[in-house]
Amino acid sequence: MERNFYWVNIADVPQWYITTPVPASGGAFDEPWMFGEGHALPDPGPIKARVRNPGQKRTLVFAGVERTPIGSEAVANVFRMHAPNDAQLFPITIEAESERHFIINAAKTVDCIDEAKCREMQHYADGDPFPEYAGEYRWIYGLRIDPSKTEGAHALRPTRFKTAFIVSEEIKAALEQVGNMGVSFERVTGPAAPGGR
CA distances from 22 to 9, 92, 102, 156, 162 (A): 22, 9, 13, 23, 21
Residue 175 pLDDT: 98
Residue 181 pLDDT: 97
Residue 179 pLDDT: 96
Tell me whether residue 25 is in a domain.
yes
Give how many domains the chain has, as a whole number. Answer: 1
DSSP state for residue 84 in the 8-state scheme: T
Indicate the pairing of strand 47-49 with strand 87-94: parallel
**Dist CA 171 CA 176 (whole Å):** 8
What are the beta bridge partners of residue 183? 10
Tell me whether residue 67 is in a domain.
yes
**Could you tell me if 21 and 35 are in contact, meaning their C-beta atoms sit under 8 angstroms apart?**
yes
Residue 2 pLDDT: 73
Terminal-to-terminal C-alpha distance of the chain: 25
Tell me whether residue 66 is in a domain.
yes
Residue 195 pLDDT: 66
Residue 131 pLDDT: 67
Tell me whether residue 92 is in a domain.
yes
Tell me whether residue 126 is in a domain.
no
Residue 192 pLDDT: 82
Domain extent, residue 34, equals 5-111+141-187
Walking along the chain (197 residues) 10 residues at a time, the average pLDDT comes out as: 89 96 96 95 97 94 96 98 97 95 97 95 75 80 96 95 96 98 96 68
Tell me whether residue 129 is in a domain.
no
Tell me whether residue 174 is in a domain.
yes
Tell me whether residue 148 is in a domain.
yes
**Dist CA 166 CA 106 (whole Å):** 9
**Dist CA 143 CA 164 (whole Å):** 9
